[in-house]
Structure 1
Amino acid sequence: MVGKHRGLVSRLKKHTPQMHGLHCLIHQSVLCAKLSGELKEVMDKVMRVIHFVRGTSSTQHRLFRQLVAESEGATHDDLLLHNDVRWLSKGKALDRFCALLDEVKAFPRLSKIRAAADHLALLGDEKFMSNVAFLADIFGHLNQLNLQLQGRGKTIVDMVEKLESFTRKLELFESDISTGRLLHFSALKSQALGQVTELMVDFIKQLRANFMSRFEDYSIPKDIIAFVRDPLTVRPSGDVTSQAKQMIPSLDEAALEMELIDFQTSSLVSDALRSAESVSTFWVGSSEEYSTIKRLTFYVLTMFPSTYTCESSFSSMNAIKTHERNRLTHKNLENCLRIKVTSISPDIQKIVTDGRCQFSH
């Protein structure tokens, strides 16, 4: 898709040089948190324990679920498997593992399988369990970010705001874990002998560095994004107009500066900005008198910052066209998919009222 020479974006840019290609911001945030070294080994060992419980045999899995069902303090009924393809999988699997930790520790003692002793020794390792709790906490925060980035109607302005906020939170997390307060690491804090190690601090530092380097340049100047978010604080003769000209070569920079002055001195504009439900709503409702400004903002707001809509549409299609419906035609599939993914709610009452009843003779 984004290959430098043969990718779709590169080929499209040959025909439309002013086009900007964006790598899915959600996918990039996931890549920032890729595990390596000792923490990857910790994650792999956790998955071995989960596979020991769930994947050794159906009997083994059934016995564990029975143990959990009989436990009074259990808040869930089973462990979750991890899948790298799914964005939230790692955090959810770790969170469930920590939530059922007492049952996970009790199960190897009841098992007659030879590998149970090895897993039991691993679960008794304080350093290992501290690392597991740390991963559960940090991936819980990453999952929250991921969910904030998901959803229809999210503009690049909305997503950049969330990413910059999370980058600042990572600085807070680093301070929190370095001082041992653990206000934002509940799983690690709940460990009776939870150990804060340099490995944890280094991971947060690296995570923050990854976010800063990956999201330093969105191929759209940050001043432009800030202008779309709050157009009243930008100087008309500043860098914004020149950057806008670079983005859209056909844009009239002189007209943009003049419109900016009129735009910022209008009391109606400031009132509309304060009362608008969202940035998109504000710009859609703004006057055509500021056509050059609207052209710039629409150029930014109509960009697709993530593949969420595409991914969710594929999921909807897979749910509609199952093996049992293999004779579904492309036309009917298209109609079903259109109904599924549209945000328009049909007026059933009006449809029924306007419809003509067919009475039997």
Structure 2
Amino acid sequence: PLNEVRWLSRHFAVNALIRNYDVLVDYCIMEVNENNYPVAKYCLKKLTDPQYRIALTVLDDIWGELSELCQTFQRSCLTIIEAYRYAKAKIAKFCSQYLVEKVHWSEKVKQQMASFDNTVNTRGVLHFVSELCEHLDCQFPENELQEWSAFILKHCFLYGTENVIKLVGKYQAVLNLPTDGSITERICKQYTDYKFIIVEKMKAGAIKTFADIVTYTLKEEQFTDLAQFVDICAMFQTSSAECECGFSLMNQIKNKSRNRLEVNHMDQLIRIKYYLAANGDVNLDKIYHHWTTDKYRREK
């Protein structure tokens, strides 16, 4: 339940269950009375449990909030830093609403509790919210994107340079950058010119969105090295809706080769991509042959 890829579909499912709750209870009662169906007995027991119903109502509120966050992540021109702030704001909201001495239940939950004389034990669902917030904190840790603040551009000569140096060190191997220190000096020089040019273009209205910044940077030859980091910054995580569509599609086109992919293969593919982008010569047929004959590949 903590897998954010399923936030949208989980909210849809829980919300549909709540909207049809009374109908489901009536159906289960009918099945028990007419057919003595064991599954219907179990479902009826759960559906008529006040704690279960309250928990579903709270989950509907939470999944609704996370679905809104997913839709926010799908906005065009959303930068990594902006998305991170939206996520941290949602975590803070959950903590201040549920993980305090006096919980602030929604009106729907209050009505449900009142109908059960406020005797429902909510310890379990509050523990779930606590686990959820802890999980989200791990997904969006503090200071994770500190280096990327370099691309919140300002008119200041030294601003952002230290963070750019950290980014070069972090992605040096993946991007096949030289290790003699010359690339760091070159990228810092590009960055110093870059930030002043971008700020002036924004003042003049030539650049209005982050997408405009990315497009301009990728086209300018004078920022060839720096452009790789702007490109990474622009590649915010895929939205939940796209992930769900992707998983569904992958299930339809499964093949034995894809099923044997290991975790480190994605890292290898990224390295190949950037090596090709740097005009490196790669024989993809040989790579594929090597992979298909690799004895450490996942077994069938």
Q: TM-score range by the shorter chain?
A: 0.5 to 0.7
Aligned in 2, Cα 1:127/1:289: closer, same or farther, shift over 3 Å? Answer: same
Aligned in 2, Cα 1:122/1:274: closer, same or farther, shift over 3 Å? Answer: farther
TM-score (norm 1): 0.50
Q: Distance in 2 between matches of 1:239 and 1:224?
A: 8
- 1:240 aligned partner, one-letter code: N
Tell me if the contact between 1:259 and 1:290 (Cα under 8 Å) persists in the aligned partners.
yes
- For 2:134, the equivalent position in structure 1 comes to 209
Query: 2:208 pairs with 267, 273, 276, which one?
Result: 276
- For 2:272, the equivalent position in structure 1 comes to none
Q: Distance in 2 between matches of 1:162 and 1:120?
A: 39
SS of aligned partner of 2:154? helix
Query: 1:225 pairs with 144, 148, 156, which one?
Result: 148
- 1:139 aligned partner, one-letter code: W
Q: Distance in 1 between matches of 2:140 and 2:202?
A: 30
The count of corresponding residues between Structure 1 and Structure 2 is 233
Residue 239 in structure 1 maps to residue 162 in structure 2: yes
- For 2:111, the equivalent position in structure 1 comes to 190
- 2:187 aligned partner, one-letter code: L
Aligned in 2, Cα 1:239/1:315: closer, same or farther, shift over 3 Å? Answer: same
Q: Distance in 2 between matches of 1:90 and 1:307?
A: 11
- For 2:19, the equivalent position in structure 1 comes to 99
- What does the per-residue CA deviation read over 1:173-209, in whole Å, with 9 as the maximum and x for residues that have no partner? 435x752332xx4542331336462222222221111
Aligned in 2, Cα 1:272/1:294: closer, same or farther, shift over 3 Å? Answer: farther
Q: Distance in 2 between matches of 1:89 and 1:197?
A: 24
- What does the per-residue CA deviation read over 1:70-127, in whole Å, with 9 as the maximum and x for residues that have no partner? xxxxxxxxxxxxxxx9664332221111112222233344442324565444433222
- 2:11 aligned partner, one-letter code: G
- What does the per-residue CA deviation read over 1:203-256, in whole Å, with 9 as the maximum and x for residues that have no partner? 2221111122234399xx61233333x132884465312212212344732233
1:66-105 correspondence runs (5 A): 88-105=8-25
Tell me if the contact between 1:236 and 1:260 (Cα under 8 Å) persists in the aligned partners.
no
What do you get for the CA RMSD once the two structures are aligned? 4.2
Gaps of 5+ in 1: 1-29, 34-84, 322-361
Residue 297 in structure 1 maps to residue 230 in structure 2: yes
- 1:181 aligned partner, one-letter code: H
- What does the per-residue CA deviation read over 1:291-336, in whole Å, with 9 as the maximum and x for residues that have no partner? 44334212433576569668646867999x9xxxxxxxxxxxxxxx
> Greater shift after overlay, 131-140 or 258-267?
258-267
Aligned in 2, Cα 1:131/1:171: closer, same or farther, shift over 3 Å? Answer: same
- For 1:131, the equivalent position in structure 2 comes to 55
- 2:154 aligned partner, one-letter code: L
Q: Distance in 1 between matches of 2:59 and 2:240?
A: 26
Gaps of 5+ in 2: 254-300
SS of aligned partner of 2:104? coil
Aligned in 2, Cα 1:227/1:189: closer, same or farther, shift over 3 Å? Answer: farther
1:1-361 correspondence runs (5 A): 31-32=2-3, 88-111=8-31, 112=33, 113-114=35-36, 115=38, 116=40, 119-150=43-74, 156=80, 159-175=83-99, 178-182=101-105, 185-191=106-112, 192-193=115-116, 195=120, 197-216=122-141, 222-228=145-151, 230-232=152-154, 235-236=158-159, 238-246=161-169, 247-248=171-172, 249-250=177-178, 252-266=183-197, 267-271=199-203, 276-277=208-209, 279-286=210-217, 288-302=221-235, 305=238, 312=245
TM-score (norm 2): 0.59
Q: Distance in 2 between matches of 1:122 and 1:110?
A: 16
SS of aligned partner of 1:142? helix
- For 2:282, the equivalent position in structure 1 comes to none
Of structures 1 and 2, the one with the larger relative CO (CA 8 A, separation 6+) is: 2
- What does the per-residue CA deviation read over 1:44-88, in whole Å, with 9 as the maximum and x for residues that have no partner? xxxxxxxxxxxxxxxxxxxxxxxxxxxxxxxxxxxxxxxxx9664
Identical counterparts, % of pairs: 16
Give the superposition deviation at 1:157. Answer: 5.3
Q: Distance in 2 between matches of 1:126 and 1:227?
A: 51
Aligned in 2, Cα 1:91/1:157: closer, same or farther, shift over 3 Å? Answer: same
Aligned in 2, Cα 1:233/1:240: closer, same or farther, shift over 3 Å? Answer: farther
Tell me if the contact between 2:98 and 2:104 (Cα under 8 Å) persists in the aligned partners.
no
